[in-house]
Amino acid sequence: MYYQAIVLAAGQGKRMQAGHNKQFLTIGQKPLIVHTLNVFDQDPWCASITLVVSNSDRELMQQLLAAQKWTTPINLTEGGSERQESVLMGLEALPDKSGIVFIHDGARPFVTIERLHALAEACLEHRGAILAVPVTDTIKLRRGNRLETMDRGLLWAAQTPQAFDYQLIYDAHVSAKVDGVLGTDDASLVERLDQDVFIVEGSYDNMKLTTPEDLYKAEAFLNGK
């Protein structure tokens, strides 16, 4: 079995307040994005990595990649101003426009090869599958002063990778663009076409590094390993 990975690194990391793209921040002695790419490089099922970066980070990223001894082919491609735009640009830059595509946040360094394989197998069977974890908080829906408490047993927090058959996710992205829809993840664009997406239970360790506090969590995770 094999898949192609799109790894997104074209954001600005504004909420991290580091003054530059958070992908280059050091955790456990390595840049964040190196941790993320390492996992895919080590997965024998990963045929290629399409790394989406902004033009302003391209040179720095190239230098960083040149210093690694990776064997999986990595193509650098340009991203857009919204995550969704970056994904579509990644899809259009894939070397092979068929088969299973994984879409992953560069800012999620701790996904495991074991979960990647479970996801690939689910995607092969269902055409669309995502990693997600059960929500642990009580979630309230607020409309004005009226609150409604959601049934937590039904709620899942979506993670990445999200895996799809190439044609399904490409069509979903093009359709969203035509309709002017900006979704908060890739699966939501497939859901709006009335297509089922399968959940593969992930791990709470597969955190996205978003704010400065997340750096402490990441260091603590690495120290505990």
Least distance from ligand CTP to the Cβ atom of residue 210, Å: 5
- d(CA 48, CA 152) in angstroms, rounded, equals 38
In the complex with ligand CTP, the residue whose CB is nearer, 43 or 105, is: 105
Please report whether residue 50 would count as binding ligand CTP according to CB under 6 A.
Answer: no
Contact 166, 101 (CB under 8 A): yes
Give 4 or 86: the residue with its C-beta nearer to Mg ion. Answer: 86
Number of residues lying near ligand CTP (CB under 6 A): 20
Instruction: Count each helix (H run) and each strand (E run) in the chain, helices first.
Output: 7, 11
**Residue showing the smallest CB distance to Mg ion in the complex:** 11
Q: Tell me if residue 96 falls in helix, strand or coil.
A: coil
The verdict on 106 binding ligand CTP (CB under 6 A) reads: yes
128 near ligand CTP, judged by CB under 6 A: no
Nearest to 91 by CA among 159, 183, 163, 173: 173
Q: 2 to 31, contacts with ligand CTP by CB under 6 A?
A: 8-15
Tokens at 73, concatenated: 């082919």
Q: Which is nearer to ligand CTP, 15 or 97 (CB)?
A: 15
